[in-house]
Structure 1
């Protein structure tokens, strides 16, 4: 991973879209700091497209799409995208699965939930599970004492034994049924809403993240950044981000924003 400070001005000037994880990438220890929120707002005001790509639930994503300075959001690790049209005052929603498929998948996820909670002491249903539509989130350190990595792996194994996908974030194991992830829905919102094809996206999008569930994005985008706390998960990553920020969590995201904004100002002057 190359220090973010070594991203050349020429390359930085080619960036038009910022895709970013939220937990421990924009937030810091569960809090959205003023500097990280200002980074989002400053990027959008400068003309960048800003789209969080998160494992967080539909209920949160509705709020974020409406009230944050963002141009859309991908939620539940790629289950959907939401985009609030402020002129029409309408929330546009696109789901990977049909309503019937979501209902069938929920029944299967309910069975996995019971098995995980019975088999892995100390694990818990994520506190935001009530606001989820497509996945199951198991908490291993957000609102419970941190579980050993071996227990996190046990949770993943249970999901996979049932035929579900499972990804580890910095706080949860998220599992779902369906052939999608953060990358597939990110491609969808870029194409559907912003008319951006994949070849163009590879040249003009940068992705920021911090954990293994960001790996599809790190692998796909030539411009990808890990905030400094990604070092805690480095041994679990086959595909690492191209660049690494000095700052942890929201400070690292603000570092990325400052670099992109400075490059744009220099280009304009």
Structure 2
């Protein structure tokens, strides 16, 4: 990862859309600050669109979409997209029967609890459509690897962030969801004109340079670096929301 001070002006000039994680990337210690809101508000003034790409639940994201000046919000790590606050969400993954899907996810979770009896379902799990969440606290790297293997054996994918663990469809990830949204709602913006930013392993697909060449990690991504196949092209000096604001300063002319 190259320091954000090396952010190339030619990269900055290309950016037409920022796709950002939220918790630990825009927030600071779980709070949305005035500085972060100001940074978000600066992007439209220079013609840059903003999409939130988070692991949070669809219900949570729909509420957030109504209060922030963003152009869309992807929830559940690429599962659901809200473009128009007045319209129903778009499902970015194929789920023929939502009730059956939820039952299947719960079954996988109960199987995981055989090996890890202390797993705690996340409070927001009831408000989700496409994935099943439980708390990441208390799980070691070895535990997380074992959980990922057990999910795969049962035909499901797995990812985690600094907040939660997610059991999900195997092909569901942030990059796939974002690509679908770009093709449908932003056809004039290419992947090369998108800047992705995040802080956790569930953001890894956004760091794949073959999909999104311009990517940034806020400084709190560093502890996860050895666990990632794809790492951001740049990393901010500051952590969390301060790092997000730091990045926005590099996108405001003069470059």
**Aligned twin of 2:136:** 140
Correspondence 1:117-196 to 2 at 5 A = 117-141=113-137, 146-196=138-188
Among 90, 93, 118, the alignment partner of 2:89 is 93
Q: What are the ranges of 5 or more consecutive residues in structure 1 without an aligned counterpart? A: none
SS of 1:117's partner is: helix
Q: Is the 8 A contact 1:117 1:124 kept in 2?
A: no
Among 252, 256, 260, the alignment partner of 2:247 is 256
What number of residue pairs does the alignment pair up?
253
User: Which piece of structure 1 moves more, 168-177 or 233-242?
Assistant: 168-177
**Aligned twin of 2:34:** 34
**Aligned twin of 1:205:** 194
Residue 227 of structure 1: CA displacement?
0.6
Among 105, 123, 144, the alignment partner of 2:101 is 105
Q: What are the ranges of 5 or more consecutive residues in structure 2 without an aligned counterpart? A: none
The separation in 2 between residues aligned to 1:133 and 1:92, in whole angstroms, is 13
Q: Is the 8 A contact 1:105 1:177 kept in 2?
A: no
The separation in 1 between residues aligned to 2:93 and 2:230, in whole angstroms, is 27
1:14 aligns with 2:6: no
Q: Is the 8 A contact 2:105 2:168 kept in 1?
A: yes
Residue 98 of structure 1: CA displacement?
5.0
Counterparts in 2 of 1:248 and 1:84: CA distance versus 1, 3 Å: same
Residue 119 of structure 1: CA displacement?
2.8
Q: Is the 8 A contact 1:126 1:172 kept in 2?
A: yes
Q: Is the 8 A contact 1:122 1:147 kept in 2?
A: no
1:51 aligns with 2:51: yes
**Under a length normalisation based on structure 2, what TM-score does the superposition of the two structures give?**
0.92
User: Which piece of structure 1 moves more, 68-77 or 7-16?
Assistant: 7-16
1:71 aligns with 2:71: yes
- Structure 1 residue ranges (4+ consecutive) displaced by more than 3 angstroms after TM superposition: 97-101
**Under a length normalisation based on structure 1, what TM-score does the superposition of the two structures give?**
0.88
Q: Is the 8 A contact 1:140 1:173 kept in 2?
A: yes
Q: Is the 8 A contact 1:120 1:154 kept in 2?
A: no
Residue 121 of structure 1: CA displacement?
4.0
